[in-house]
Amino acid sequence: MHSPELANPLKRSFDEMNLKRDADDDSNPPPSPLPSSSSSSKELSPRSYQWKVFEVAKRRNTIAVLDTGTGKTMIALMLIREIGQAVKADGRKLFIIFLAPTVHLQFKVIKDSTGFEVEEYYGAKGVDEWSAKSWEKEISEHDVLVMTPQILLDALRKAFLSLKTVCLMIVDECHRATGNHPYTKIMKEFYHKSVDKPKIFGMTASPVIRKGVSSSMDCENQISELESILDCQIYTIEDRTELEVFIPSAKEINRFYDASQFHNLDLKAKLKSSWSKFDNLLLNLQGSPMTQYKDMDDKLKALRKRLSNDHAKILYCLDDLGLICAYEAVKVCIENVSNAQEEFEFYRQSSSQCKCFLQEVLGIIGGYLPHGT
């Protein structure tokens, strides 16, 4: 499930920083606090599990999966200090980017804890109107840039910033890197095409967030996709003993219920017929001259796969949760249909078939609901 590490000149330079410890070593990490990087920064006192994640993240691109409140930002601060100090000592002018949906709190924590020159960037600051000279000034004066992902995406597209001058990119709430989110576009349009790639550290409480997940295979597929997009491997703490001292696990209560008595074969047949109809439409579109381009053929295959997955999820809800839940699940699927406005006409028409299928299914199931539901 994990993607192998790719060759990366910047990563090799990090490996030279005496980072010889085995990433998966379960031995106890050093309990002593990290010294402050300057007189203006605070001393960091990480917990042992934070040390473990830190050691792994130094050696490879990592997605840290830890519960809310366990201190993922502490690990990010440790990486910023470690890599930032090494880059400064080496005399290179590289900077660190911290991406987050909201930036001010992260900006303040980094500024207070590292002693580096830190600045924050967001839409309301007027960054959208900045010129190349404005960005050059920011890069020359700061070590860490804290910004929303859309700000970075826009700056990369305008060639105001380049990933080859970034040594570390931290991605907060990295589970958002799916579909058309700016995180995904940054990685696909720039990171994966870059020769000199920055080190990546992602943080999330849950790598799986999409509604309608119906099986362990769904979860595995989503995790694998996230790892591929972010060029990372997920790492979490197996021994929760210390974690539960700080964040007690929720108490689980099991409730057992009888199996569903729903056996409406007529409804299932109608749903299968609808899926088959739209699947054939997409199959016919695959025979179009437009699909001579591999990119378009791959996109149509992905649409057919999505159509099939949505159909399977709806049947799962129907069998295990009943009519009303299946009806609501279709609504969720409709909400999750990607906005294809940025694509050209042929793909927009093809993509619309998925939404048409779901709308037809919504009508079919709605016809079986009791009146007044």
DSSP lists the bridge partners of residue 44 as 34
Q: pLDDT tens for residues 256-304?
A: 877 666 668 899 999 999 999 999 988 888 777 765 665 677 778 888 8
Between 34 and 98, the higher pLDDT residue:
98
CA distance 218 to 210: 10
Residue 160: pLDDT band with limits 50, 70, 90: very high
Q: pLDDT tens for residues 136-153?
A: 999 999 999 999 999 999
Please indicate, yes or no, whether residues 199 and 344 belong to a single structural domain of this protein. Answer: no
* 353 lies in some domain: yes
Residue 19: pLDDT band with limits 50, 70, 90: very low
Q: Using the predicted structure, report yes or no on whether residue 111 has a pLDDT greater than 60.
A: yes
Please indicate, yes or no, whether residues 29 and 159 belong to a single structural domain of this protein. Answer: yes
- DSSP states along 129-178: G--HHHHHHHHHH-SEEEE-HHHHHHHHHTTSS-GGGEEEEEEETGGG-S
Please indicate, yes or no, whether residues 197 and 310 belong to a single structural domain of this protein. Answer: no
Query: For residue 61, what pLDDT is reported?
Result: 98
Residue 212: pLDDT band with limits 50, 70, 90: low
How many structural domains is the chain composed of?
2
Our CA dihedral for 12, 15, 17, 19, rounded to 10 degrees, sits at 170
Domain-terminating residue out of 184, 212, 246 = 246
Query: For residue 8, what pLDDT is reported?
Result: 41
Mean pLDDT of 217-244: 88
Please indicate, yes or no, whether residues 70 and 168 belong to a single structural domain of this protein. Answer: yes
Please indicate, yes or no, whether residues 218 and 348 belong to a single structural domain of this protein. Answer: no
Residue 327: pLDDT band with limits 50, 70, 90: very high
Please indicate, yes or no, whether residues 280 and 148 belong to a single structural domain of this protein. Answer: no
Domain-terminating residue out of 192, 215, 246 = 246
In contact, 184 and 177? CB cutoff 8 Å: yes
Query: For residue 25, what pLDDT is reported?
Result: 46
Q: Which of 62-66, 97-101, 166-170, 280-284 has the lowest mean pLDDT?
A: 280-284
Structure tokens at 234: 């997920």
Query: For residue 38, what pLDDT is reported?
Result: 55
CA distance 215 to 202: 24
* 371 lies in some domain: no
Residue from 257, 79, 89, 258 nearest 172 by CA: 79
Please indicate, yes or no, whether residues 222 and 348 belong to a single structural domain of this protein. Answer: no
What is the amino acid identity at position 226? L
Q: pLDDT tens for residues 164-184?
A: 999 999 999 999 999 899 999
* 373 lies in some domain: no
What is the amino acid identity at position 364? I
Residue-number span of the structural domain to which 300 is assigned = 265-366
* 349 lies in some domain: yes
Domain-terminating residue out of 199, 219, 246 = 246
**Residue 248 vs residues 49, 64, 74, 240, 346: alpha-carbon distances, Å:** 15, 19, 19, 9, 52
In contact, 183 and 99? CB cutoff 8 Å: yes
State the alpha helices, DSSP H only, in the chain: 9-15, 48-59, 72-90, 104-114, 132-141, 149-157, 182-186, 216-230, 241-246, 265-286, 294-321, 323-335, 345-366
Please indicate, yes or no, whether residues 109 and 207 belong to a single structural domain of this protein. Answer: yes
Mean pLDDT of 186-207: 96
Please indicate, yes or no, whether residues 215 and 330 belong to a single structural domain of this protein. Answer: no
Query: For residue 217, what pLDDT is reported?
Result: 73
* 124 lies in some domain: yes
Q: Using the predicted structure, report yes or no on whether residue 2 has a pLDDT greater than 50.
A: no
* 66 lies in some domain: yes
Please indicate, yes or no, whether residues 235 and 296 belong to a single structural domain of this protein. Answer: no
Please indicate, yes or no, whether residues 126 and 271 belong to a single structural domain of this protein. Answer: no
Which CATH number goes with the domain that contains 132?
A: 3.40.50.300
Between 341 and 204, the higher pLDDT residue:
204
Q: Using the predicted structure, report yes or no on whether residue 114 has a pLDDT greater than 60.
A: yes
CA distance 314 to 120: 43
* 345 lies in some domain: yes
* 252 lies in some domain: no
Please indicate, yes or no, whether residues 277 and 242 belong to a single structural domain of this protein. Answer: no
Mean pLDDT of 80-86: 95
